[in-house]
Structure 1
């Protein structure tokens, strides 16, 4: 009878309703002075806001459904429409000093994020880190002065194509991970031990002079072990075991492949000038980051923690949960209720019609059949 407003109108005559006490359930009773009709007015928008507030507190917090004080089945039923609400960020066109770019995987999906050290600038969901997904994320953003990356090849290609004037800084933490992967923490050769010491010294570089000194030491190490890096093992040598990485038709392979891969990585970083941009572009008194740890160890680690606390979600619901988690780190986040539209909670999903299944074989239908054994029987049935 009434509309959603503080002054509802009568559905009979159209006049405004006035308050007329409360009913036995404690709800306000409204009465029309013109025709005398009486009714109670429901506010589905207030109900929906309460449901969404409870859903948002659960999705972004650490409380379980039981700790919210709502039965599990009731919570899932009343908040089913809340999964449709999607927060989004609006690009301001601001040029940032630097951006940390990284992707994290969850439930078969990948979340690509752009972080300026304090706030999330934008995000993108995809199946994996590839050129198309990184292009879709970065093409609408203003190029920063420095981009910190973890060494993903697709990301580096997109940065070179879309942001040619942006300087690239490789994350030191991922450099160390690659060193440990190829050299291990206990290399058996002297060149490997020396290169591991150089890698540890790289992590402690803090000035331009130290960076120049480190570069000279690395170049000296290359020239000193040039022969070792090019050493080969031939398949005709029966004493040599064939590594799993070697293809069956190969006749030779590099003996110290781990040492060679580590040397190639550092050599390429120096050649592309991706190693000391955090020092070369720093202003007096400014400390630029050299790792993506604030993004990976903070926001991305929080994604994994939220999914662990809410484990069992479908991939689509996991994506919605990650979206709300990332929006918490926006620079000027809006009220989550502002993203809710009337069609989200007003239109209830219609159940799919169920097809009628046959009760049994065709002989057990509604028509009479002699084949089912229910016909009139004749003959002697036996006697005592």
Structure 2
């Protein structure tokens, strides 16, 4: 098969420029890689690369294992690991932007900003960890939205106030639910915790201001019922075996419950 240009194709395994290697019995040009000695006829290198990338992404984004002939698959798609996506800055203003950081097992953190209505990725940034400066660098590439939905941590909050002073912040309700489960566990021991968990589990079902006001009233009523429990303290002299007694005179007895409420 003949290539569509006079330029020699690249090897699909090592990326080196291939050399002509005679013709097959049908008169089609054959190529050989001087590095890995791979030979074959090449019709359209870009078409082959697109097919290999589609095969690679099909495996990467799916829960299924590698296809049969895994060694050949890994060699065929090894070049895909070197691709670095480029996302051009988008000048369009958004009504809602969602931003969060994801820590990867191999190290590093990926900050991502997403259109809250369409789910489209607007911008992303690699960094060592989430911080105010890193979020400011991310936000500086995006026009200020009306609302930023985030996890509510200090770094992203400070970055929003500095980069987008006119933008309102909404704490992500999924993060609120997840943090509540962390504090209360899935089976709270105290009755106060069980009631608060039931209330926290309904927070993602709020869709209008009336439901939000009704939910806030229930939270206020819960606090009135359990105000004395939240105010309980444990003194170091009464719990000498507690590790906190070494550096504190007292601490809140039900600190996770207080944290969840706040």
Given that 1:65 and 1:71 are in contact with CA atoms closer than 8 Å, whether structure 2 keeps it comes out as: no
Which shifted more, 190-199 or 144-153?
190-199
Q: Distance in 1 between matches of 2:186 and 2:76?
A: 51
- Cα 1:98–1:27 change in 2 (3 A) is same
Q: Distance in 1 between matches of 2:180 and 2:70?
A: 50
Where relative contact order (Cα < 8 A, 6+ residues apart) is larger, the structure is: 1
- Cα 1:46–1:236 change in 2 (3 A) is same
Q: Distance in 2 between matches of 1:95 and 1:262?
A: 34
Q: Distance in 2 between matches of 1:122 and 1:258?
A: 35
Q: Which of 44, 49, 58 is equivalent to 2:46?
A: 49
Q: Distance in 2 between matches of 1:45 and 1:157?
A: 55
Segments of 4+ moved more than 4 angstroms = 22-25, 44-48, 63-70, 82-85
- Cα 1:214–1:84 change in 2 (3 A) is closer
- Cα 1:109–1:51 change in 2 (3 A) is farther
Q: TM-score, normalised by structure 1?
A: 0.51
- Cα 1:5–1:204 change in 2 (3 A) is closer
Give the secondary-structure state (helix, strand or coil) at the position aligned to 1:164. Answer: coil
Q: Distance in 2 between matches of 1:5 and 1:201?
A: 62
Q: Cα RMSD between the aligned structures?
A: 3.3
- Cα 1:203–1:66 change in 2 (3 A) is closer
Given that 2:112 and 2:121 are in contact with CA atoms closer than 8 Å, whether structure 1 keeps it comes out as: yes
**Residue in 2 aligned with 1:212?**
213
Give the secondary-structure state (helix, strand or coil) at the position aligned to 2:87. Answer: coil
**Residue in 2 aligned with 1:290?**
none
Q: Deviations over 1:197-233 (max 9, x none)?
A: 3323434333322222222332233344333222111
Q: Distance in 2 between matches of 1:165 and 1:115?
A: 19
Q: Distance in 2 between matches of 1:252 and 1:111?
A: 39
**Residue in 1 aligned with 2:97?**
99
**Residue in 2 aligned with 1:230?**
231
Q: Deviations over 1:303-324 (max 9, x none)?
A: xxxxxxxxxxxxxxxxxxxxxx
Q: How many residues align?
A: 227
Asked which structure has the greater CA Rg, the reply is 1
- Cα 1:49–1:237 change in 2 (3 A) is same
Mapped pair 1:221 → 2:222: yes
Give the secondary-structure state (helix, strand or coil) at the position aligned to 2:144. Answer: coil
Mapped pair 1:165 → 2:151: no
Measure how far apart 1:53 and its partner are. Answer: 2.3
| Structure with the higher fraction of residues in strand conformation | 2
Q: Deviations over 1:123-166 (max 9, x none)?
A: 11122222232222111111111111123331122112211211
Q: TM-score, normalised by structure 2?
A: 0.72
- Within 5 Å, give how 1:1-384 maps onto structure 2: 5=5, 24=25, 26-27=27-28, 48-50=45-47, 52-62=49-59, 71=72, 75=76, 80=79, 83-106=81-104, 107-116=106-115, 117-238=118-239, 241-242=241-242, 244=243, 246=244, 248-264=246-262
- Cα 1:188–1:94 change in 2 (3 A) is same
Given that 2:123 and 2:141 are in contact with CA atoms closer than 8 Å, whether structure 1 keeps it comes out as: no
- Cα 1:5–1:253 change in 2 (3 A) is closer
